[in-house]
Chains A and B, each alone.
Chain A
Amino acid sequence: AQSVAQPEDQVNVAEGNPLTVKCTYSVSGNPYLFWYVQYPNRGLQFLLKYITGDNLVKGSYGFEAEFNKSQTSFHLKKPSALVSDSALYFCAVRDGENAGKSTFGDGTTLTVKP
């Protein structure tokens, strides 16, 4: 079985400050990890993924995420938040040995205030 936890329902940051959206996972095989963003009344957009290699992954819109195997975490980060980053963020995991089905976290609402 695989699972994802996003411990914070909501994250609030001021524009220009760094942001972190937390994600921890559980999977029996090698984890394939993904971050998606959802704007109101829209589908999910892919941001970045970790499959193998460098633990720091860079993605779209200046976002990056750090894979930490010992802590089973894959936190999403951005050095300087923009108001336009305000959205719902989902972390997802897939078992590399059991391809196909992704399990999503419940989502974290990020609000960036001017």
Chain B
Amino acid sequence: NAGVMQNPRHLVRRRGQEARLRCSPMKGHSHVYWYRQLPEEGLKFMVYLQKENIIDESGMPKERFSAEFPKEGPSILRIQQVVRGDSAAYFCASSLRIVGSSYEQYFGPGTRLTVT
């Protein structure tokens, strides 16, 4: 039973380029969350998605960042025109349906983005 998968594990981009981070949730999970972890800091919530729906994007920067979770395929976190401050580890997590909301999240290994 494969866990949450993220790719690439490491991504290097020059300033101004686009970064695309992919996340495949655990089998049977229909809820995906994206978090960012800056060096020496904790996890910061970015966005929460269900299939074809953004449920909560209160942690997403207003510009350059977008996320989607299409009906088919992985969830994508897209960062346009990257800047050095975007360098961080980006973690994806998934969970079962949230009726009762007691379900824990299962995390992927993360994508480490370096902007040069």
Assign chain B's interface to a size class: 20 to 34
Name the contact of B42 in the complex, choosing from A41, A42, A101, A106 (C-beta under 8 A): A106
Residues of A69-114 at the interface with B, using a CB-CB cut-off of 8 Å, are: 90, 94, 96, 99-107
Query: Residue on A with the closest CB to B41?
Result: A106
Measured between beta carbons, the chain B residues less than 8 angstroms from A44 are 43, 91, 93, 107
- Taking a contact as CB atoms closer than 8 A, the residue among B6, B101, B110 that contacts A96 in the complex is B101
Q: What is the 8 Å Cβ interface bit string for chain B, positions 44-76, against chain A (1 contact, 0 not)? A: 110010000001101000000000000000000
Assembly CA distance A99 to B109 (angstroms):
24
The bracket for how many chain A residues form the interface is 20 to 34
Whether B55 pairs with A100 at a CB distance below 8 angstroms is: yes
Per the bound structure, the CA–CA distance linking A99 and B91 in Å amounts to 19
CA of A56 to CA of B35, assembled, Å:
29
Which residues 60-116 in B have Cβ within 8 Å of A in the complex? Answer: 91, 93, 98, 100-102, 104-110, 112
Partner-A contacts on B (CB < 8 A): 4, 6, 31, 33, 35, 41-45, 48, 55-56, 58, 91, 93, 98, 100-102, 104-110, 112
A-to-B contact residues, CB < 8 Å: 32, 34, 36, 41-46, 49, 51, 90, 94, 96, 99-107
Given contacts A43-B108, A107-B43, 15 further A-B contacts (CB under 8 A): A34-B105, A41-B110, A42-B110, A43-B4, A43-B91, A43-B109, A44-B107, A46-B106, A99-B101, A101-B45, A103-B45, A104-B35, A104-B45, A106-B41, A106-B42
